[in-house]
Chain A
C-alpha cells in the first residue's frame, strides 16, 4: 500500500502532539511507553518502505496533486531503498535511545519525548522528500528540535554555548539553502527536484547555476560537518545528552551528505554532466581534508563525547569521498558504510553514557583504570573501536569493499589507502581511550590532550536504583551486534548498487516521478571483492592497534625522537586546536570562507 509513505513522518508527529496535549494527565512512565512504541512502529514502517521500494521507487503526491502534463504542482515523497534505509536507521536508533533513556528525563516530563519524536519525524521527512523547499522545511524542523535538545542541560554554560554555536551555524546554513533554492526557482520555476533537473539539463552552466549549487552544497555540508563547516559539531555533540548524541552523530550528520546526493543526481547531474571529473576532485579533496582534521583532533581529546564527535567528523570525510566518486558503487558503498557505522557509533555513545552514569565521569584520563567495573561498557567500547578501525569482514566491510572497487573504477586507486589512514586515526584513538579507561594502561597525564573538561554534569534525573541494567546495557549491545552483523546480509552490495544505479539514471528517474513511468527492473551488477579490501581492513586494524599504543606510551619513546617531533609538530597542532575556539564569530567567518571558496572552485570547474 502506498499510503505507508507519509507515515514515517506523520506517526511520530501525531504521537508528539498527543503527548504534548496530554502531558498533565499522563501517568509517569506512560510517556516513555508511548514514545518507545511510536519509535518502534516507525522503524517497522520505514523498514517496510525499504522492502516495498526494492524494484521501483514509491512516488507519493501529497494532497493527491499528481503532476499535470508532466508539471509538478504539489509536493512528492520519493521513496527509494537507500533513502528509506536511512529513515529506518533513524527510527531504530530513536527506539534504542528511548529504551536507554527510560525514566532518564523525569525532570522535564514529556518535553524530551515530544522533541525527540518531532526530531525523528523531521529526519524521516528530510530524507524522503523529493521537493527542494520541503527539504528546507524539514531541515529547519531538525534544527529547531536539535537546538532545544542540545541545550537541555541549562544549568551550566557549556551546553548553552554548544547550543548557540549549533543554532547560529545551522540557521545560517539554512539561509544558504533557501537562497540557493530561490535562485533555482527563479530560473526553473520549479521546486520538485526532477522537474528542476529537466529544465536545467537543457541549459549550460552559468553564474546562477554555479552559485545556486554552491549555496545548496555549502548549506548541506554544514549539516554534515565537513571542514571548514564542522566547528559547531564538536561543540554541540560534546554537551548534548547521550540519547540525543546518538541521533545527532549517527544519523543527522549523514543526512546532510545524503541530501547532497539527493539534489545532485535528480537536479544537477544533467547540467554538470561534463564536469564530473573536476567535481570528483573537489569532493574527494574536501573529504580527505575533513577526514584528516577530524582524525587528528580526535586524537587530542580526552573528553570521550568530544572525542567521538571528532570521530564523527572524520568519518563524514570518508563518506564525502565515497559520494564524491560519483559512481553507483560509490553511492551504494557509502550508504552501506553509513548504516553499519551509524549503529556502531550509536553503541559507542551509549557506552560513554553507561560510563557517565555508573562512574559519574566521561573524561578519559580521570577514568583511567576505573572502567574495570563496567564490563559491558568495555565490551561495547572495544568492539566499537575495532569496528571503526575496519576489522574485516564485519560492520562496514561491505560498504568499504564497494568504495575500494569504485575508487579503482574511476582511477582513484590511491584513495582507499588514504581512507584507511582515517580508520587508523579514529580506530586507534578509540582503542587508546578504551585501553586507558578499561584496562588502566598508559600514562595518567598527557599534556598533548586538550584542557581538562569540567566534571561531567550529565546525571540522569533519577536515582540509580530506578534504571534497571537491561535498559542501560541492552541497547548498546544490540546496536553493536546489528552493526557488526550488517555486512553478512546476503547480496547486499549488489542490490545496493542496483538501487544506486536506478537513482542516478536521471531521465528514467524523472520519467518515473513526473510521469509515473516505471523503469524496467534491472539485474544486480556483479560484485566480487577480491583481496584488496581485506588487505586494507587488516592493515588498518593492525596499524590502529599500533597507533593506540603510540597514544598510550608515547612518552616512553627516546627523548631525542620526542623533542624532534615536538619541534616539528607542536606549532601546527597549536594552530589546529586554536581554530576550534568555541567562538561563534570565528565559526561564521569560516562558514563564509567555505561557501565563498566552494563557489569559486565550482565556478572554475564549470567555467
Chain B
C-alpha cells in the first residue's frame, strides 16, 4: 500500500503517453499531455509527504509541528505554470492547423517528412 501514490504517478504517465500516441485530434493530444504532466505533480508531492505532517505553513501552529516538504510543493507550483504555458501554445497551434489545414488530426499532417 505504501507505494500506491508513486504507482499512481507511473499509471498517469503511461496512460497519458498512450493517449498521445493514439491521439487523432490535437486538442485531445494536448489534454493527454496534461495528464502526463500531472504524473509529475503526484510523484513530487508524494515524495515529500510525511505521515501525520501538516502543510508547511506555520501560522498559528505550535513550534515543532511536523510538516511536509515545502520544496517539492514549490517545484510543483513551477511545474503547473509550465503546463499552462505549454497547453496555451499547443492549443493555439491546434487552432491554426485546423484553420489552415481543415483537420486537426496529427496523422493527416504531411507537409514535412522523409
Interface centre among A137, A140, A160 (most CB of B within 10 A): A160
Residue of B nearest to A139 (CB): B82
A584 B29 Cβ-Cβ under 8 A: yes
B21 A589 Cβ-Cβ under 8 A: yes
B85 A186 Cβ-Cβ under 8 A: no
Known: A172-B36, A175-B36, A585-B21. A238 touches B89 (CB 8 A): no
The distance from the CB of A427 to the nearest CB of chain B, in whole angstroms, is: 22
Cβ of B68 under 8 Å from chain A: no
Residue of B nearest to A591 (CB): B17
Complex Cα–Cα for A589 and B106 (A): 14
Contact of A157 among B22, B33, B111 (CB under 8 A): B111
Known: A157-B97, A167-B89, A175-B36. A583 touches B109 (CB 8 A): yes
| Per-residue B-contact encoding for A146-166, CB less than 8 Å = 1, 0 else | 011001001111101111110
Known: A582-B113, A584-B106. A172 touches B96 (CB 8 A): no
B113 A164 Cβ-Cβ under 8 A: no
| Per-residue A-contact encoding for B99-113, CB less than 8 Å = 1, 0 else | 011000011011111
Chain B residues with Cβ below 8 Å from A144 are 85-86, 89
Cβ of A592 under 8 Å from chain B: yes
Complex Cα–Cα for A585 and B9 (A): 22
Interface size on B, residues (CB 8 A): 40
B85 A160 Cβ-Cβ under 8 A: no
Cβ of B31 under 8 Å from chain A: no
A451 B100 Cβ-Cβ under 8 A: no
The distance from the CB of A336 to the nearest CB of chain B, in whole angstroms, is: 33
Chain A residues with Cβ below 8 Å from B90 are 164, 167-168
B20 A185 Cβ-Cβ under 8 A: no
Known: A168-B29, A450-B114, A592-B17. A154 touches B107 (CB 8 A): no
Known: A172-B17, A583-B106. A156 touches B100 (CB 8 A): yes
Interface size on A, residues (CB 8 A): 51
Cβ of A239 under 8 Å from chain B: yes
Cβ of A387 under 8 Å from chain B: no
B21 A588 Cβ-Cβ under 8 A: yes
The distance from the CB of B30 to the nearest CB of chain A, in whole angstroms, is: 9
Contact of A238 among B17, B26, B79, B112 (CB under 8 A): B112
Interface class of chain A by DSSP: helix
Cβ of A178 under 8 Å from chain B: yes
Interface residues of A in 572-592 (CB under 8 A from B): 577, 580-585, 588-589, 592
Complex Cα–Cα for A585 and B82 (A): 22
A161 B112 Cβ-Cβ under 8 A: yes
A158 B47 Cβ-Cβ under 8 A: no
Contact of B114 among A174, A182, A580 (CB under 8 A): A580
The distance from the CB of B43 to the nearest CB of chain A, in whole angstroms, is: 5
| Per-residue A-contact encoding for B39-57, CB less than 8 Å = 1, 0 else | 1100110010000000000
Known: A168-B20, A175-B37. A161 touches B111 (CB 8 A): yes
| Per-residue A-contact encoding for B62-104, CB less than 8 Å = 1, 0 else | 0000000001100100110010011001100100110011000
Interface class of chain B by DSSP: helix
Known: A133-B75, A137-B78, A157-B97. A582 touches B110 (CB 8 A): yes
Residue of B nearest to A174 (CB): B82
Contact of A156 among B26, B111, B114 (CB under 8 A): B111
Complex Cα–Cα for A154 and B47 (A): 42
The distance from the CB of A407 to the nearest CB of chain B, in whole angstroms, is: 34
Cβ of A171 under 8 Å from chain B: yes
Chain A residues with Cβ below 8 Å from B9 are 179
Complex Cα–Cα for A239 and B43 (A): 36
Chain A residues with Cβ below 8 Å from B47 are 182, 185-186
A182 B40 Cβ-Cβ under 8 A: yes
Chain B residues with Cβ below 8 Å from A589 are 21
Cβ of A300 under 8 Å from chain B: yes
Chain A residues with Cβ below 8 Å from B17 are 172, 588, 592
The distance from the CB of A367 to the nearest CB of chain B, in whole angstroms, is: 19
Complex Cα–Cα for A137 and B9 (A): 21
Complex Cα–Cα for A568 and B90 (A): 42
Chain A residues with Cβ below 8 Å from B109 are 157, 160-161, 164, 582-583
Cβ of A78 under 8 Å from chain B: no
B89 A179 Cβ-Cβ under 8 A: no
A160 B89 Cβ-Cβ under 8 A: no
Complex Cα–Cα for A55 and B73 (A): 38
Cβ of A235 under 8 Å from chain B: yes
A158 B20 Cβ-Cβ under 8 A: no
Contact of A451 among B79, B89, B114 (CB under 8 A): B114
Chain A residues with Cβ below 8 Å from B78 are 133, 137
A147 B40 Cβ-Cβ under 8 A: no
- Beyond A167-B86, A583-B107, 16 extra complex contacts between A and B, CB < 8 Å: A133-B78, A140-B82, A147-B89, A154-B100, A164-B109, A168-B29, A172-B33, A172-B36, A179-B9, A179-B40, A182-B43, A185-B71, A235-B113, A451-B114, A582-B110, A585-B23
Q: List 19 A-B contacts (CB under 8 A).
A: A140-B82, A157-B100, A161-B97, A161-B112, A163-B93, A164-B90, A168-B33, A171-B37, A172-B17, A172-B36, A175-B36, A175-B37, A179-B13, A182-B47, A235-B112, A235-B113, A580-B114, A581-B113, A584-B20
Give 3 closest A-B pairs by Cβ, nearest first.
A582-B113, A450-B114, A158-B111
